[in-house]
Amino acid sequence: MTDDFDRLTVANLSRHYGRRKALSKVSFACAAGDIVGLLGPNGAGKSTLLAILATLLAPSDGTVAYGAMTAASGGAGLRARIGMLGHDLFLYPELTAFENLVFFGRMYGLADAPARAREALERAGLAERAGDAVSGFSRGMRQRVALERALLHRPRLLLLDEPFTGLDQASAAALVTRLREEQSRGVLTVVATHDLDVVDGLLSNELFLRAGRLMTVSAGDGPLRDRFRSAMAAS
């Protein structure tokens, strides 16, 4: 695909809201198949960075390159290669799981939206609940449908904002398995999360954010939680 890319490069990215610096000179690069963790306390700039990567927010300074494209040069074709799951799951509770996915599939312009919706519900382990209204689903089930909604158009870049919030152990494990499947397909995933124990061992790269700045920490084989503490304590 002409709008496809296999690398994401962020260079000296900053975002200011008046005098407040939500992000300050953030730089990193990752490639297809990577799962990158954005780790930091509330207010660290994680959601702001995800919004910029999703082309929903313009940076105050710096650049984001999706392969050879920028948000401006890539336009709608680039955005069609991005999937996002935020705090709002963007599901219609009165619609069934199948109807939700077909609706979004058609919004994505997919000619085979019903077929993809059925495949997605099968992958999510919800094929038997395809005809049930989402309003009757548990948080974990809704999260699984929402993740498939974000993946329905087979994006290259997947952006996740606290996807494990409110999930029980089994649902969190199922989500990790699903992310590994997409990793094997070459999807580049960026996930902001506080659930360090869940993603320990899943991440290809860890970005520790504090007050909008990247904190450096020595790589090691110890628990991710220990490295997080070291990064947050760094001067």
Backbone conformation region of residue 125, classed left if phi is above 0, alpha if psi is from -120 to 50, else beta: left
Q: Kindly tell me if the per-residue pLDDT of 146 is higher than 90.
A: yes
Q: How many angstroms separate the CA atoms of 65 and 60, rounded?
A: 15
Q: Kindly tell me if the per-residue pLDDT of 235 is higher than 70.
A: no
| Contacts of 94 by beta carbon, 8 Å cutoff, 6+ apart | 133, 134, 135
Q: How many angstroms separate the CA atoms of 114 and 106, rounded?
A: 9
Q: Mean pLDDT throughout 41-59?
A: 96
Quick one: tokens of 67?
Answer: 């392969």
- The CATH class of 7-81+156-233 is alpha beta
DSSP one-letter string for 87-130: SS----TTSBHHHHHHHHHHHTT-TTHHHHHHHHHHHTT-GGGT
The full set of domain ranges for the chain reads 7-81+156-233, 94-154
Q: Kindly tell me if the per-residue pLDDT of 140 is higher than 70.
A: yes
112-138: pLDDT as tens digits: 999 999 999 999 999 999 999 999 999
185-208: pLDDT as tens digits: 999 999 999 999 999 999 999 999
Q: What is the CA radius of gyration of the chain?
A: 18
pTM of the model: 0.94
Distances (CA, A) of 69 to 48, 72, 191: 20, 8, 22
Residue 42 near residue 18 (C-beta atoms within 8 A) = no
